[in-house]
Amino acid sequence: MITRKTTAEIMPKIFFNRDISWLAFNHRVLQEAADKRVPLYERMKFLAIFSSNLDEFYRIRVAEWKRLNLLTLKTKKVLAENPKMVLRKINHIVQKQQTEFNDIFWNQILAELETRKIRLVNEKQLSANQEQFVRNYFDEQVKPLIKPIVLNEKKGMPQLDEKSIYMSIKLCDFDRPGPRAFEFVITEIPSRKLTRFLELPEEDGYHHVMILGDVLRLCLQKQMFPQYEIVEAYSIKLTRDAELVLEDEFSGSLLKKIKKGLSARQKGVPTRLLYDNAMPQDSLKHLRKVFGVGPQDLMPGGRYHNFSDLMNFPKFDQKGILYEGLAALRIKELDDSPKLFDAISRRDFLLHFPYHSYDYVIRLLNEAAEDEKVRCIKITLYRAAPNSKIIQALLKAIENGKQVTAFLELKARFDEESNIHYAHELEEAGAKVLYSFPILKVHSKMVYIERIEEDKLRRYSYLSTGNFNENTAKLYGDSSLLTRDKYIGREVASVFDILADTRIKREFRHLLVAPDHMRHDLYSMIDREIKNALKGKPAYIFLKLNSLQDKDIIEKLYEASQEGVKIRLIIRSICCLIPGVKGLSENIRVISIVDRFLEHSRVLIFCNDNQPRVFLSSGDWMERNLSRRYEVGFPIYQKDLKEEIIEMMRIQWRDNTKARNINKIQNNTFKKSQALSKRNAQLDLYQYLKEKEENHS
């Protein structure tokens, strides 16, 4: 077994750096944008996702490495990796990916748009009619939103919105006597208030589209700065660091030492200045001084930034530019039941999104709100949809006299404001609202319903790998369990008791509950596989996770591999485990699937001497999920549903179109297969579930 001391000494050799691994994942997103089998506008969406992902990466992860790089040499020596070297490697990889991104957009996407008679034009490619249209649009819509800011080194960095793009403009005063004097100003390109892509009048049978930054370039001289000569105008984007969660990476005395070393460090400092690589060096130097960025913070780009806006590129009613929709699957037994409670009382059900309709979740809560036998509803909410139907059902339940308890996680990144709004709305209506804990996040996804049936208390539970969000349920691959199992119900109730009062302690025999129990239970199940392997019995572990980063549990998987346990992993994004290393992980294979739907479910299968134990879970195997979040893994007991999960995992493992091998060099090679036919896991899953329901009916 690998000891912690040995691990600390050789860690870079047995663990991938989590951020380098994440960049490999983002490259898989970029691969989808390059894949000509993917419909055109879906490819553009993948470019948008890549760009959005990278922005967040710089705000969160690069910011943390930059802060660690400010520590004293003595403290940095205790770190597993040198921050400066990691930053250097990150920049090298990102620049390489950015070059690939530019090639895909400029040389592939635009060329295919051209074949569809859609043309992206700049300010120098307009007809007289189009130019007048653009100038009118500028005067009416854009000009009122333009607020130039003078860039002065002495005044320091202005407060910029990091989600926005800016135009850096170099001016020369026509009337000023003497040598030419230059002035630098920046102005926000108001793409968050206006469309980023302006549709121009059609000409020659072509749809013409102009990016808002080019609208500014055309109109700045005559309509904004008529008294100046516009020497140059280039778009820039500044990324700042966000609030860091150092606990995700460090613990104990090292965490205290790092926090002490960074206590005086200001938040919101720049982590990246993305600039047009055509910008002259003197202008770039001026920007660097004003914004206080070093050479390592510079990221050369092209003429345009914020490609996350490609999500909104005009579609012009073109056919074949998006994936064909998959009709949401129905479950006849649930549809035929007057009440879902009647069906669930007979047996358990699994729902798999986005293949199944999410209406069943909304229906469950609406029925609970109106059912006179229901006495209480409890729910954990991490990310809810705008105008959430889930919230509406809870408000209806309160109105009908039900006891409603809702735990709102106020630290759900990017959803804080929305969750605060929903918390106030529920509280004012009369719900008991529980709020975030100072350090721990509540990431579990549960509904608990108490119903009185024939004078007996019955506990209904809905447990899921995904959020209570009807919008993302159409895009994220998640699995959920509907059950009236009394043992699971009691333990779900216990979790809610703990969330109401963390001083309460409970034992769990069925659920895997973090942070107090899940890690220990996972170790026990891995140990059981090791013991069985040593006895010559069947032993395997089959996992699907979003991320695998926790070093202790990775070491446990390495130990299992060394003792002969066969391990197959499907990891969507971060994978710090290195597979296929002789003497360490030669019994571990890892693939990653990136496709039209975001793979979001977590599935755990342990051989257990050919009596498989199957769990679904809200939590990944990351340090934060296992140690600082309330996560819940839930067992699948019903035989046919257990077989369903196992078969779905086999289908995913057989994928030979969207599956990439995670190997020692992280180069994202597509998985090869001996099968003659092409297998696409997501389409095959849909077909499997469809046929299963048809056969069952």
CA 608/CA 615 separation, integer angstroms: 13
* Beta-carbon-side half-sphere exposure of residue 107 (alpha carbons within 13 Å): 7
- CA 530, distance to chain mean position in Å, is 33
pLDDT in tens, 387-423: 999 999 999 999 999 999 999 887 656 556 777 888 8
What is the SS3 assignment for 357?
A: coil
* Both structure tokens of 268: 């919101």
pLDDT in tens, 269-301: 677 888 888 999 988 888 888 888 888 788 887
CATH of domain 332-500: 3.30.870.10
Residue 253 has pLDDT above 60, yes or no: no
Which CATH fold would you assign to the domain 35-312?
A: polyphosphate kinase like (3.30.1840)
Q: Please state, as a whole number, how many other Cβ atoms lie within 10 Å of the Cβ of residue 440.
A: 18
**CA angle (65, 71, 77) in 5-degree steps:** 90
- Closest among 339, 338, 347, 359 to 451, alpha carbons compared: 339
pLDDT in tens, 97-150: 999 999 999 999 999 999 999 999 999 999 999 999 999 999 999 999 999 888
CA 62/CA 567 separation, integer angstroms: 32
pLDDT in tens, 569-609: 999 999 999 999 999 999 999 999 999 999 999 999 999 99
CA 117/CA 204 separation, integer angstroms: 9
pLDDT of residue 213: 93
- Closest among 184, 211, 172, 217 to 284, alpha carbons compared: 184
Active site positions, annotated: 443
Q: 659, 681 in Cβ contact below 8 A?
A: yes
Task: Spell out the alpha helix ranges (H) of 404-517.
Answer: 416-429, 486-500
What is the SS3 assignment for 665?
A: coil
* Both structure tokens of 359: 């209406």
**CA angle (637, 638, 642) in 5-degree steps:** 80
Alpha carbon separation from 421 to 47, 426, 655, 686 (Å, rounded): 32, 9, 42, 36
Compute φ and ψ for 236, nearest 5 degrees.
Answer: -140, 160
pLDDT of residue 300: 83
pLDDT of residue 151: 83
Q: Looking at domain 512-696, what is its CATH homologous superfamily?
A: Endonuclease Chain A (3.30.870.10)
Q: Please state, as a whole number, how many other Cβ atoms lie within 10 Å of the Cβ of residue 267.
A: 11
pLDDT of residue 618: 97
CA 268/CA 394 separation, integer angstroms: 38
Q: Which residue has the tokens 């020659």?
A: 204
* Both structure tokens of 662: 């995670």
pLDDT in tens, 320-355: 999 999 999 999 999 999 999 999 999 999 999 999
CA 600/CA 350 separation, integer angstroms: 16
pLDDT in tens, 6-57: 443 444 489 999 999 999 999 999 999 999 999 999 999 999 999 999 988 9
Largest separation between any pair of C-alpha atoms in the chain:
96
CA 629/CA 631 separation, integer angstroms: 6
Asked if domains 332-500 and 512-696 share a fold, the reply is yes
CA 447/CA 427 separation, integer angstroms: 18
Across 639-649, average pLDDT: 98
Q: Tell me which of 248 and 513 has the higher pLDDT.
A: 513
* Both structure tokens of 558: 């390495």
**CA angle (640, 641, 647) in 5-degree steps:** 90
DSSP, residue by residue, 8-74? HHHHHHHB--HHHHHHHHHHHHHHHHH-TTS-HHHHHHHHHHHHHHHHHHIIIIIHHHHHHTTS-HH
Per-domain residue ranges of the chain:
35-312, 332-500, 512-696
CA 630/CA 636 separation, integer angstroms: 20
